[in-house]
């Protein structure tokens, strides 16, 4: 193993996180802004897009589909092609590591009268795609896959709206169907089993598309032109999570996080931390294109364990590995159940979380659909792995700061999927 493949992280030694920070742009909103901007009538301008590899994959795929995308200083200008204006790709579309890109772009390709192949890395090739194949085929597209996984060949055409009830509450599945519905005839309705992140719905509203949201029932009435978008993407709440957690756990911390997205379908982790006793103050809240954002001030806090409700699972799905880390430092029991979706993320996040935390000495029990942590645990340095998953890498880094001694993190570079510069930013705030 080369030196680059292992990062040694030392205990924070009471150096709290202090000062102010801003985060990279929200990844979920960035994917959607690029995709919807490319379907608009006219030019959209997007500032502060997520800088990681996932969103880079979206930019590359759109270019392959003939969408002009020009980078100007910190902005991207997209020439919208209209709802069904993509050019037939000459090469296969490389979605890299991104499940969001794969599922959302498949919905758009389903409305285009040509064949396009989507492929990705080993992680993406192992993730379930039948959850989008079934509804998109019911609308009239053809999707050929390798037994429900990538590579996926989408043959699109004239679609008819449907009413669909996905089995899981998934924003990716919901958005895939709604995006197919934009170019379809008639009404397309998704009835969710529970509320998932609603960035697609808010952006469609901001772009003047006829959409109705009645609790968990979302309907688009197509086809209708999309107005272009002027957007400054808020800081990514999921990326903020690692700094919020570290500031709650490390003695002497007082950290201000500026301009972070606070859409309440995303901030379950904030609710959970508050329930656990964390001191987190919200200031300067405002709204832009329907998305709430604001500043957070986080201080070191004494925490107690928490038992989650099903509703909180979807709202904090990407932060659950991090919650396990926090729970090791909270008095009492933290239980996460009903989170089996974690098994089909970039890696099996339940197994990865339990393996890493056990290696550092945590009292954590694996459940089929979650985990139980019995705190408070004294963690000590050891070996942890990213499991080639950006969120596991960043969660492990927070655990390493709390653990006594030194921890070796294997394949840390996977943070680049969503947060290039993560380790440097953390280091700067610890010594800030
Ligand atoms: C995302 C939705 C979630 C989340 C993922 C991003 C999105 O996945 O885990 O990181 O941008 O729509 P599911 O919709 O599959 O739960």
Kindly list the structural domains of the chain, giving each domain's residue range(s) and its CATH number in brackets, ordered by start: 6-25+235-431 (3.65.10.10), 27-232 (3.65.10.10)
CA distance 279 to 154: 48
- Cα-Cα-Cα-Cα torsion 285, 241, 251, 253, nearest 10 degrees, comes to -30
Task: Decide whether any atom of ligand 1 lies within 6 Å of the 238 Cβ.
Answer: no
- Cis omega before residue 151 (within 30°)? yes
Centre of ligand 1 to C-alpha 124, Å, is 13
Cα-Cα-Cα-Cα torsion 100, 87, 157, 206, nearest 10 degrees, comes to: 50
| Confidence (pLDDT) at 167 | 96
Contacts for 45 with CB less than 8 Å, ≥ 6 apart: 75, 76, 77, 78, 229, 230, 231
Give the number of the atom of ligand 1 that is nearest the alpha carbon of residue 175: 12
Ligand 1 pocket mutation pick from 99, 135, 166, 310 by most atoms within 8 angstroms of CB: 99
With a 6 Å cutoff on the Cβ, whether 172 touches ligand 1 is yes
170 lines ligand 1 (CB under 6 A): yes
396 in Cβ contact with 370 (< 8 Å): no
167/174 Cα distance (integer angstroms): 11
- Ligand 1 centroid–CA 211 distance in Å is 21
Residue 61 pLDDT: 98
> What is the CA(28)–ligand 1 centre distance, in A?
8
Helices 422-430 and 390-402: angle between axes, nearest 10 degrees: 20
Q: Which residues 6+ apart lie within 8 Å of 227 measured at CB?
A: 40, 41, 42, 207, 208
Instruction: Walk along the chain (432 residues) and give the pLDDT tens digit of each residue.
Output: 334 699 999 998 878 999 999 999 999 999 999 999 999 999 999 999 999 999 999 999 999 999 999 999 889 999 999 999 999 999 999 999 999 999 999 999 999 999 999 999 999 999 999 999 999 999 999 999 999 999 999 999 999 999 999 999 999 999 999 999 999 999 999 999 999 999 999 999 999 999 999 999 999 998 999 999 999 999 999 999 999 999 999 999 999 999 999 999 999 999 999 999 999 999 999 999 999 999 999 999 999 999 998 889 999 999 999 999 999 999 999 999 999 999 999 999 999 999 999 999 999 999 999 999 999 999 999 999 999 999 999 999 999 999 999 999 999 999 999 999 999 999 999 976
Site to probe by mutation for ligand 1, drawn from 132, 167, 197 as the one with most ligand atoms within 8 Å of Cβ, is: 197
Distance CA 1, CA 17 (A): 32
264 CA distance to ligand 1 centroid (A)? 15
From the alpha carbon of 341, which atom of ligand 1 is closest?
A: 16
Answer yes or no: is the C-beta of 340 below 6 A from any ligand 1 atom: no
Using CA positions, which residue lies closest to atom 10 of ligand 1? 318
Ligand 1 mean position to 175 CA, how many Å? 10
The pTM assigned to this predicted structure is 0.98
Residues annotated as catalytic (active site), given as ranges? 318
């Amino acid at each position: 193993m080369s030196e680059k493949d292992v990062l040694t992280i030392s205990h924070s030694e009471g150096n709290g996180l202090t000062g102010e920070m801003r985060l990279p742009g929200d990844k979920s909103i960035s994917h959607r802004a690029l995709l919807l901007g490319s379907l608009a009538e006219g030019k959209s301008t997007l500032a502060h897009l997520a800088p990681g590899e996932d969103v880079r994959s979206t930019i590359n795929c759109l270019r392959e589909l003939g969408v002009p995308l020009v980078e100007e200083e910190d902005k991207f200008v997209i020439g919208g092609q209209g709802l069904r204006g993509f050019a037939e790709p000459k090469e296969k579309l490389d979605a890299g590591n991104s499940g969001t890109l794969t599922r959302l772009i498949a919905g758009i390709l389903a409305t285009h009268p040509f064949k396009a192949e989507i492929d990705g890395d080993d992680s993406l090739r192992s993730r379930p795609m039948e959850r989008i194949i079934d509804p998109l085929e019911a609308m009239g597209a053809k999707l050929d896959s390798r037994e429900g996984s990538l590579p996926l060949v989408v043959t699109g055409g004239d679609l008819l709206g449907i009413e669909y009830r996905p089995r899981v509450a998934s924003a990716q599945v919901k958005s895939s169907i709604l995006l197919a519905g934009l170019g379809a005839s008639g009404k397309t309705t998704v009835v969710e089993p529970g509320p998932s992140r609603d960035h697609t719905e808010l952006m469609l509203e901001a772009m003047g598309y006829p959409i109705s949201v009645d609790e968990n029932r979302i309907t688009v009435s197509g086809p209708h032109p999309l107005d272009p978008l002027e957007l400054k993407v808020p800081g990514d709440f999921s990326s903020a999570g690692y700094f919020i957690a570290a500031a709650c756990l490390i003695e002497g911390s007082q950290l201000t996080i500026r301009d972070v997205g606070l859409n309440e379908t995303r901030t379950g982790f904030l609710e959970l931390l508050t329930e656990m006793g964390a001191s987190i103050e919200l200031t300067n809240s405002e709204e832009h294109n329907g998305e709430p954002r604001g500043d957070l001030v986080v201080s070191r806090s004494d925490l107690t364990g928490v038992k989650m409700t099903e509703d909180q699972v979807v709202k904090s799905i990407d932060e659950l590995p991090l919650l396990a880390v926090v729970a090791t430092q909270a008095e009492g029991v933290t239980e996460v159940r009903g989170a089996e979706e974690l098994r089909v993320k970039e890696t099996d996040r339940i197994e990865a979380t339990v393996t890493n935390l056990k290696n550092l000495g945590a009292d954590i029990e694996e459940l089929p659909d979650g985990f139980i942590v019995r705190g408070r645990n004294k963690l000590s340095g050891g070996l942890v792995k990213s499991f080639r998953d950006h969120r596991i890498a960043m969660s492990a880094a927070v655990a390493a700061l709390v653990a006594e001694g030194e921890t070796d993190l294997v394949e840390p570079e996977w943070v680049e999927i969503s947060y290039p510069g993560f380790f440097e930013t953390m280091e700067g705030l610890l010594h800030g």
